[in-house]
Amino acid sequence: MTKLNRIVVVGASLAGLRAVQALRAADFAGDITLIGAENHAPYNRPPLSKSVLDGDGDITLPGAEQLEDGWLRNRRAAALRTADRLVVLDDGSEIAFDGLVVATGASPRRFDAQPAGVHSLRTVDDALALRTELEAAPGHVTVIGGGFIGSEVASTARRQGISVTLVDAGSHPMAATLGSNGAQWLARHHERHGVDLVSGVRALGFDGESRATAVLLSDGRRIPTDVVVAGTGVEPNTDWLRESGLKLDNGVVCTSSLFAEGESSIVAAGDVSRWSHPLYHGELVRVEHWANANEQGALAARNLLVGPAEAETYAAVPSFATHIHGARIQIAGMPALSDEEYVLLDESTEDRLVVAFSSRGVLVGAVAVNAPKDLIRLKRAIAARTSRDEAVA
C-alpha cells in the first residue's frame, strides 16, 4: 500500500460528499480537493421529482455544510491524464493527485433539439424551472419516458389536478425494471389515476417555433401540450475521461472493490461506476439509486486509502423505493438480470403485489408494492443467494 498525500474527488454530489466524509473520518492527513460542476452545495436529488414539485424545497444533504475547505464549486474536470496523475480543469489548470475518486454521476439524455417548454430533470435548477411551469396551471403535461422519474412527475402532476399523457416506447413502462407483472400493474395504476398512457411509441420531436406546442410520435400522432418532461434515462458522465485510458463501457468499469480496472489509485462510485458485483457472478452492473451512491462513495474512499489488496468488495443488494400515485413501490436486487419471475402475492383490490425474480435457479431480485415486510424478507434472501425453490415456497 502506497501512502497517499493528495486525493482529488471529482463530482460534488452524494457519492463525492460521502467520499470526502469517509476520508476525514479515517483521519486522512493529506490534502483533499473536491471538484464540482454545480454551483450548489451537494443536495438530495430524490425530492426533485416529488416534494420539490409540490413546493417543498427541503433537499438538505447532511454533511454538505462542512465542505468549504478544498471545494472547487462551479468547476468542471475536462480531462484526466492518468500517467501524469493530473486532473485538468475546464480553464486548463491542472490538479495533481496520488489518489482519485471519480463520482461524476450521470446526465439526462436529451433530444437533439429541445425547445423551451421541454424539461429534463436532474438538478435543483431543472426542478425549480419545472415547478414554475406547473404552478402556472398548464392545461396539459406530456411526460416522455415512463421510468421512475417520468412516473413520479406524472403522479405529482395528476395530484395537482393537471391532465397528463405519459408516452413510453416499451410495451409497458418500466418492464425491464419491474418485470412484466410489476410493469402491467404500474400501467393499470397510472390509468386508474387518470394518466393517459401511450405505450409502444417513441416521441420523435416537437411542434412549435420558440416553444413546444405538441409532441410528435413515431406512429404519426401529435399530442398538443403546454409542458413536456423528458424522462428518457441518463448517461454516465464519462466524457471527461475519454482520453484517460480508463476502461469505459456504460460507466467506469471497476473491480468488485470499486477500483477502476487496472488501476490501484483510482476508484469510481455512484451512478458513474459499473462494477463487478460479487452477488451476480461478477457481472458488471451500474446502479442509479441513492443508497448505492451513498454507500459506494464512502467505501470507495476507504478502499483507496488501504489499496486493492486490503480493499472490501461492494456486494450490497441494490435497493430503491418510491411512491407513485400513493402506492409504495420497492425494488431489491436486479430483476433485470433474471430469467424467471414469480408472483408471490397479487391483491389487486388492495394494490398489493409481490414478485420474486430468479436467475439460474437463484433469487436475484424482488419487487413489492405496498408490501414492505415481504420486501425485507426477500432482500435478505437475495443477499443469502437463496434458491428460487426455497424463496418462493
Ligand X SMILES: Cc1cc2nc3c(=O)[nH]c(=O)nc-3n(C[C@H](O)[C@H](O)[C@H](O)COP(=O)(O)OP(=O)(O)OC[C@H]3O[C@@H](n4cnc5c(N)ncnc54)[C@H](O)[C@@H]3O)c2cc1C
Per CB under 6 A, residues contacting ligand X are: 10-16, 35-38, 45-46, 48-49, 76-77, 103-106, 121-122, 149, 237, 240, 270-271, 288-291, 293, 320, 322
In the complex, the smallest distance separating the C-beta of residue 244 from ligand X, rounded to whole angstroms, is: 12
Nearer to ligand X, 322 or 386 (CB): 322
The string over 103-130, giving b where at least 16 C-beta atoms fall within 10 Å of a residue's C-beta and e elsewhere, is bbbbbbeebeeebebbbbbbbbebbeeb
For residues 362 and 367, which CB has a smaller minimum distance to ligand X in the complex?
A: 367
221 neighbors 186 (Cβ within 8 angstroms): no
Closest distance between ligand X and the C-beta of residue 126, in Å?
8
Nearest distance from C-beta of residue 71 to ligand X, angstroms: 11
Task: Output the smallest distance, CB 77 to ligand X, in A.
Answer: 4
Please, which residue, 22 or 344, has the CB nearer to ligand X?
22
Q: End-to-end alpha-carbon separation of the chain, Å? A: 47
Minimum separation from the CB atom of position 3 to ligand X (A): 26
Cell numbers placing 273: 461506476
At CB < 8 A and 24+ separation, what contacts does 260-267 make? 260/102, 263/82, 264/2, 264/307, 264/308, 265/2, 265/4, 265/85, 265/97, 265/98, 265/99, 265/100, 265/304, 266/82, 266/99, 266/100, 266/102, 267/100, 267/101, 267/102, 267/300, 267/301, 267/303, 267/304
Q: How far is the CB of 302 from ligand X (least distance, A)?
A: 17
Judged by beta carbon, residue 13 or residue 181, the one nearer ligand X is 13
Nearer to ligand X, 167 or 332 (CB): 332
On whether the CB atoms of residues 300 and 366 are closer than 8 A, the answer is no
**Cβ-based nearer residue to ligand X, 72 or 362:** 72
Three cell numbers, residue 239: 466524457
| Lookup result for grid cell 438538505 | 60
Shortest distance, CB of residue 264 to ligand X, whole angstroms? Answer: 22
Nearer to ligand X, 16 or 179 (CB): 16
Nearest distance, CB of residue 216 and ligand X, angstroms? 25
In contact, 342 and 354? CB cutoff 8 Å: no
C-beta separation of 205 from 111 below 8 A: yes
Tell me whether residue 185 is exposed, middle or buried, using C-beta atoms within 10 angstroms of its C-beta: 0 to 12, 13 to 18, 19 or more: buried
Phi, psi for 200 (deg, rounded to 5): 75, 15
| Residue number with CB closer to ligand X (154 or 217) | 154
Instruction: Kindly tell me which of 14 and 215 has the beta carbon lying closer to ligand X.
Output: 14
Could you tell me the smallest distance in angstroms from the CB atom of residue 144 to ligand X?
Answer: 15
Our CB check for ligand X shows the closer of 31 and 340 to be: 31
CB of 227 to ligand X, least distance (A): 16
Whole-angstrom Cα distance, residue 250 to residue 252? 7
Name which of 300 and 356 has its Cβ closer to ligand X: 300
| Cell matching residue 32 | 483533499
Q: How many CA atoms lie within 13 A of 194 on its CB side?
A: 13
Q: How far is the CB of 210 from ligand X (least distance, A)?
A: 26
